[in-house]
Structure 1
């Protein structure tokens, strides 16, 4: 199992210099890759380009680039550019986001996200393979019928294949991910619940006549180092309450649905009710300690080593950590502690 660094959204938690310091320390420690996200703040492409220019071995990945934010052809152009500029170190993570962002920010309908994703990935793969892009699907039709458009081929050749990852939480989304992608980007992954997710991914791989041997099962975890596990969990509560309670609408919150499937139905309903009625602090206090512990990396080096061993045994192939700490020194030290724990496997 490999280690990765996940920077999350660049919304002001760290300065650009801090972001770079984390990435360069991770690279020096042997972390395999660094990932960053976008929502409706800074775009992820600019950040990854900047990071790739100041590193040499660590891979850079989008977790995720938003499907509604770019045409599939534009995404293929961007992926090819980043792959060539980074010397073959780019990994393309894609996701449909949610209806509030897709429809509210990008003005793109959220309906039928699975079909839209299937068409989108097919076109991206076709373009990156430098085939003439002609596609007649339910959601995309290229060239546009009844126009002067013509089938075109990507003008540059990527220096290496671009691995495609998909983010998702629901069983049908995971099945599609296994079928059409090279890897999965997960959140709130718990070793004791991994069977549901891995079964869905395996079903998708079987549909494509493939197995899991060359598929990257990746998930991200908040990382807090310390002797007191309960105290380590406290700074993670903001993140957990936001996703379970407020990431999406009352009708569509994929992370709330995941918490329900993990056995926290009553707690998930209460967290969402508190969060959506403006009582975020109460929502944070309602997140179960067990849920945070199972979906985070908390504790001292020995405990982290045990947790990494359990994650590897469950089928995780890349463990992406987001260090949480009072300052940059604490976050840099956390990356080092996790690396030491990983060496003990």
Structure 2
């Protein structure tokens, strides 16, 4: 229902995520069959969950079935999911991502896939395998590739090898540092930020009371800052520290890992939530949309905090109205 409403309203893309529950390609293939115009994007397909060839096959298939509407978002996930769920060591994630993306591009481009890297070897040496190429012609030889990136090195890699960046906790007030890092990667590839898609996932709650709207986002923020990863390695906690919330980030993590979840949520600073969300009446949301656009966002993904589908659909309509008031950009969900 929500994807169909977004399609009707003119949103540009609907995204689906995966962790260790439902997988994103199945959801996106189903959505593609229920819609006619809106793009469908993985945010993300996990790199440790699939071989590069399987990922390319899936991407090309959904792109073909949807009439060229697929966007391929990739991410390495984190140590706990990669090693605990997929049984894949998390070591050297940047090098693995670079090789993975290169093979995916070869396969989608219908080139004969022969690759000799540190992490992937195709075909395997000394056996009956041979270099192959995709056996059907997808509608496009290039499918847009996005990387989910948080840390500086991964941001630079996204700029170098991808068409877009899937961001989380994107703050217009902090964005210049992240965009400069991406621009550095673009420069390595002889490119600029022109045409590079900056896609933050932004919680949205429409209402008259900004503080009350923020309350719906607190547990989400606490989960990522406090519980997504271990005490030693939590990329989102490190991001909050870089954004200037070091003391709060340490407290949130301590409380969350001690299973004091309500206290952890209460410890998330209101300013952090407000910077990284769209909260309040439509007029206030419109003003923040202008801030996000001025801070380099090219496709803004609204993350709905609604109790039921009809409320979610109303939020989509409210954001569409706010975008009209703002006078900037295209719709993106």
Tell me the TM-score range normalised by the shorter chain: over 0.9
Match of 2:88 in 1: 108
Match of 2:330 in 1: none
1:61 to 16, 41, 50: 41
Give the 3-state SS of the residue equivalent to 2:202 in structure 1. Answer: strand
Q: Deviations over 1:224-249 (max 9, x none)?
A: 00010000000111100000000011
Q: Quote the offset at 1:212 in angstroms.
A: 1.0
In 1, Cα distance between the equivalents of 2:233 and 2:138? 37
Give the 3-state SS of the residue equivalent to 2:297 in structure 1. Answer: coil
User: Where in structure 2 are there 5+ consecutive unaligned residues?
Assistant: 328-333
In 2, Cα distance between the equivalents of 1:331 and 1:164? 28
Contact 1:66/1:97 (CA < 8 Å) preserved in 2?
A: yes
Contact 1:93/1:185 (CA < 8 Å) preserved in 2?
A: yes
Answering whether residue 2 of structure 2 is matched by residue 28 of structure 1, we say no
Match of 2:130 in 1: 150
Contact 1:325/1:331 (CA < 8 Å) preserved in 2?
A: yes
Q: Quote the offset at 1:196 in angstroms.
A: 1.1
Answering whether residue 274 of structure 2 is matched by residue 302 of structure 1, we say no
Structural RMSD (CA): 0.7
1:38 to 9, 15, 18: 18
1:124 to 101, 104, 107: 104
Q: Quote the offset at 1:340 in angstroms.
A: 0.8
1:267 to 248, 254, 259: 248
Match of 2:69 in 1: 89
Q: Quote the offset at 1:153 in angstroms.
A: 0.6
1:160-309 to structure 2, matched below 5 A, reads 160=140, 161-309=142-290
Contact 1:226/1:300 (CA < 8 Å) preserved in 2?
A: yes
Match of 1:329 in 2: 310
Q: Deviations over 1:222-279 (max 9, x none)?
A: 1100010000000111100000000011111100000000000010000001001111
In 2, Cα distance between the equivalents of 1:233 and 1:329? 20
Provide the aligned length of Structure 1 versus Structure 2.
325
Q: Deviations over 1:297-326 (max 9, x none)?
A: 101110011000000001110100011123
Q: Quote the offset at 1:343 in angstroms.
A: 1.4
Q: Quote the offset at 1:329 in angstroms.
A: 2.5
In 2, Cα distance between the equivalents of 1:168 and 1:326? 29
Q: Deviations over 1:87-107 (max 9, x none)?
A: 000000000000000000000
Give the 3-state SS of the residue equivalent to 1:192 in structure 2. Answer: coil
Q: Quote the offset at 1:47 in angstroms.
A: 0.4
Q: Quote the offset at 1:58 in angstroms.
A: 0.2
Greater Cα offset, 327-336 or 37-46: 327-336
Contact 1:80/1:156 (CA < 8 Å) preserved in 2?
A: no
User: Where in structure 1 are there 5+ consecutive unaligned residues?
Assistant: 1-20
Deviation above 6 Å: which 4+ runs of structure 1? Answer: none
Answering whether residue 66 of structure 2 is matched by residue 76 of structure 1, we say no
Q: Quote the offset at 1:334 in angstroms.
A: 1.0
In 1, Cα distance between the equivalents of 2:105 and 2:136? 14
Contact 1:222/1:321 (CA < 8 Å) preserved in 2?
A: yes
